[in-house]
A and B are shown apart, each in its own frame.
Chain A
Amino acid sequence: MFTRRRVLAGATALGGAALLPTIAAAKGGLTAAIYPGTWEDAYRAIVIPALKKTYDVDLELQPLFAVDEVAKAKAARGAPPFDCFVLDPGPRITAIEAGLFEKFDGKKLSNASKVPSAFIDEWGICVGAQVVGIAYNPKKLPAPKGWKDLLTDPWVSRLGITGFQTTFGTVSLIEIAKQFGGSETNIDPALVELKKVLPKIAAVGQPAAMPGLFQQGQCDVMYTNTQTVATLKGKGVDIEFVKPESGAVAFYTTLHIAKGSDAIDNAYKYFDTVVSTPVQEALTKPPYNFLPANKDVPIPPDLPMKSLDEMSTYVLHDWAKINPLRAGWIEKFNKEMAK
């Protein structure tokens, strides 16, 4: 017979049982945000098993773009949905301003000496760099030389562009603006020039849709990062990367600990594993092609940089200046590009 007391007792027991695995997992668990695509694939294949083996920590990855991580953490107000961020420079500054990070102490990492000293600061650690330039389909088009070429035939009618939502989109549009007299803080010339050729442009898409559009032949030239090129190439897509005449853009990718995380020790173990020599070596190999953040790891010949010191020869941007302008640029892009 079901009495209220029995049902309540049963429910309590069930509820208690449901809590058990959580308590068990909390001992050696960590949740980290990671970029969808190449980053997620690589960290799943290499970092998760390495972290488990070295420190017996179970890593759970949450695929999120940088801006989505910041939005979620802001919305969670002190109870972060994940313990670690992976961010580009722009969202990193936004997150620091919003107080979303725990302070970071690089000395706690056993591999700290293997990482260039400039890669560690009070907020986190740099674990890689992304290089942005032009990707094109060599079977359909000749190689473009620079950003200006994108807006002329034969490239423009096969061009796919995205707006200012992502870091790679923003820096590419800044570089296009620079070719026409603009600057890091003045992107208007890019919009003026794009508007002139707008009817010819093959696709104006969401950043996440661009690889799919390229793969389907909707566009044959686009701005993107070297990792997307490597991933598509790995899938058998005809795609090549071009470093524009004016220089490819580079930016760092950094890991941070979320403010309010209850797994800070595990977060340090995670960062330590990511920059360890065997993991960095594995990450530089195809199909992942990461630029290493560990001085002991040589850069493979087919990557766009020969050493991380070369980073200074790339075009770098000041995101403290860009961030406050970005909201206005997004609105402008909407209005200028709208049908």
Chain B
Amino acid sequence: MKTALALRMKGAGYLGEWQLALPLTLAFASLFLAPLLLLFGVSFFNDDKLTEPGLAQWGKFFGDPFNYKVIADTLLLGVKTVAATVLVGYPLALVFIDLSARLQRVLLFVIVMPLLLSVVVRTFAWIVVLGHEGLINTLLLRLGLIGEPLKLLQTELGLVISLTQIEMPLMLLPLISVMSRLEPNLRDAAAALGASRWRTLFTVIVPLSMPGLVAGCLLVFASSTTAFISQTVIGGVRLIYLPLVIWQQSLVVFNWPLAAVASMALLVSILTVVAALSYLGRRASGAIHG
């Protein structure tokens, strides 16, 4: 029956493998690639009415040293958030693989839960936690650990703390899916050969979990550097990142060419870091596999 169907499909000359990818390819080309090209095209106009072609907005954006600081701050925010999610998330993933199947399900639910809430709700919840009269300050004041409220909201520290929680599922899900497929006997073998637990962790588990770790880092980096709502609501507008500049230029002053240049700067700088990360990841996992 199966063979007959396959023969018939082949005979009829439709549904080759590449054709199965056609809907997604078309959607990708029309909904992502075409707008991206359009955006790139818009950046080559000098005026906001898109009448005079030219490179003036590129010159304006890259001629202003302030914008380099904005790009650097944006990338640095991504790096800090990635570092924090790895520091908190990796030990959690290690705990996860040793749990019973039932507890794993519970923990997985807890990990995924933040994704079920809108990012706006999560972000505003962090205002309540980090605020001048928020949970943390009230707690520390009542315990007598501080004399007056700490400034947590509208600081980079507060922003990184909240982004760490907001982006955590993006780190943990790929990490856990790779780590739960690790052969448990490998750890026993390492122990039998006399490796300490730390040595087993760094020479066996970490290299083998690298694909998950790299995937998690990529997702967290790309998501935190572009998290406009969290950046502006929790970070305030004294911390200036590229998404804020893009929003101001496109939606407040309607200078679309400059917004397009800033968007290209964001895209290229994130892609560069992402490419570097995945290259390093491939090399690190290659060290053990090959």
Chain A proximity of B227: nearest CB distance (Å): 13
The reply to whether A203 and B124 form a contact with Cβ atoms under 8 Å apart is no
Q: A216-B128, A216-B134 are in contact. List 15 more A-B contacts (CB 8 A).
A: A71-B250, A164-B252, A204-B154, A205-B154, A205-B233, A206-B237, A212-B127, A213-B153, A217-B132, A219-B132, A326-B253, A327-B255, A330-B248, A330-B253, A337-B238
Contacts of B83 in A (CB 8 A): none
Contacts of B250 in A (CB 8 A): 71
What is the chain A residue whose CB lies nearest that of B66? Answer: A335
The reply to whether A218 and B153 form a contact with Cβ atoms under 8 Å apart is yes
Please measure, in the bound complex, the distance between the C-alpha atom of A215 and the C-alpha atom of B23, giving whole angstroms. 48
The reply to whether B131 and A216 form a contact with Cβ atoms under 8 Å apart is yes
Within 8 A of B (CB), among A199-213: 202-206, 209, 212-213
**Taking the complex as formed, is B251 at the interface, i.e. its CB lies under 8 A from any CB of chain A?**
yes
The reply to whether B127 and A213 form a contact with Cβ atoms under 8 Å apart is yes
Q: List 15 A-B contacts (CB under 8 A).
A: A163-B237, A203-B153, A205-B233, A212-B124, A212-B127, A213-B127, A213-B131, A216-B128, A216-B132, A218-B127, A218-B131, A218-B133, A335-B66, A337-B237, A338-B66
**Taking the complex as formed, is A44 at the interface, i.e. its CB lies under 8 A from any CB of chain B?**
no
Chain A proximity of B75: nearest CB distance (Å): 16
The reply to whether A338 and B133 form a contact with Cβ atoms under 8 Å apart is no
B233, B248, B253, B254: the one contacting A209 at CB < 8 Å is: B233
Chain A proximity of B207: nearest CB distance (Å): 39
The reply to whether A203 and B154 form a contact with Cβ atoms under 8 Å apart is yes
Contacts of A70 in B (CB 8 A): 254
Contacts of A206 in B (CB 8 A): 232-233, 236-237
Contacts of B237 in A (CB 8 A): 162-163, 204-206, 334, 337
B134, B153, B238, B254: the one contacting A338 at CB < 8 Å is: B238
Chain A proximity of B228: nearest CB distance (Å): 10
Chain A proximity of B77: nearest CB distance (Å): 12
Chain A proximity of B270: nearest CB distance (Å): 21
Within 8 A of B (CB), among A270-322: none
Contacts of B156 in A (CB 8 A): 339
**Which positions in B face A, CB cutoff 8 Å?**
66, 69, 124, 127-128, 131-134, 153-154, 156, 232-233, 236-240, 245, 248, 250-255
Interface string of A61-72 (1 = CB under 8 A from B): 000000110110
Chain B proximity of A285: nearest CB distance (Å): 29
**Taking the complex as formed, is A165 at the interface, i.e. its CB lies under 8 A from any CB of chain B?**
yes
Chain A proximity of B193: nearest CB distance (Å): 52
A204, A217, A334, A335: the one contacting B236 at CB < 8 Å is: A204
What is the chain B residue whose CB lies nearest that of A206? Answer: B232
The reply to whether A339 and B128 form a contact with Cβ atoms under 8 Å apart is no
**Taking the complex as formed, is A52 at the interface, i.e. its CB lies under 8 A from any CB of chain B?**
no
Contacts of B236 in A (CB 8 A): 203-206, 209
Please measure, in the bound complex, the distance between the C-alpha atom of A203 and the C-alpha atom of B251, giving whole angstroms. 23
Please measure, in the bound complex, the distance between the C-alpha atom of A330 and the C-alpha atom of B258, giving whole angstroms. 14
Contacts of A94 in B (CB 8 A): 254
Contacts of B245 in A (CB 8 A): 334
The reply to whether B240 and A338 form a contact with Cβ atoms under 8 Å apart is yes
Chain A proximity of B35: nearest CB distance (Å): 11
The reply to whether B238 and A204 form a contact with Cβ atoms under 8 Å apart is yes
